[in-house]
Amino acid sequence: VVLVVAVAMTAGSLAWALGQPPVYVASSRLLLAPLPGKALKALGAGGAGTALGRLSTETQAQLIGSSTVAGHVSAAIGGRISTEELSRAVDARVVGTDLIEIRASARSPQLARAEANAFADAYLAWRSAAATADVEAVRRQIDEHTAAVDGRLAEAGRTIDGASAAMAALPPPEVSDAA
């Protein structure tokens, strides 16, 4: 009786498994190279302008798999797949010090590949926009400092011009022969 039940359950499980549509998995890998030391210094390492430099690889993997990135991917494909479906279909995990693997599952290999690549592209676009914003903030700071220095130089020039004019208006010193 036990053998008959085991065979029947195995046969039923096999029939159920064969009746399921196939699920395909594709992956993309992102190498998150850190910013060079000179770039971090220019951006004010430790300051407000280095958000990307402070994010751990684990945090970045969580961002990739977030509903925010899924929303960008959904919008990029015209909403054909909802944010929720994309969030469930994609997983990002750290596979090395600066390496993240994005895995997507779908009913076709083409869709799985497209989802994995779309998440990688969306995250890289976000990173690029964040880096551009950091550089723009530093450029504005440099422009402000340059304007302040130019203002101080102009004031110093006016002071020198005023002192030179005052000196020119003075009578020449008297020379005495009393020596």
pLDDT in tens, the chain (179 residues): 777 888 888 887 877 666 667 789 999 999 987 766 776 676 665 444 455 556 889 999 999 988 889 998 888 888 888 899 998 889 999 999 899 999 999 888 998 999 999 999 999 998 888 888 888 988 899 999 999 999 999 999 999 999 888 888 888 888 877 65
SS3 105: strand
The pTM score is 0.66
Strand order in the sheet with 90-96: 24-31, 99-106, 90-96
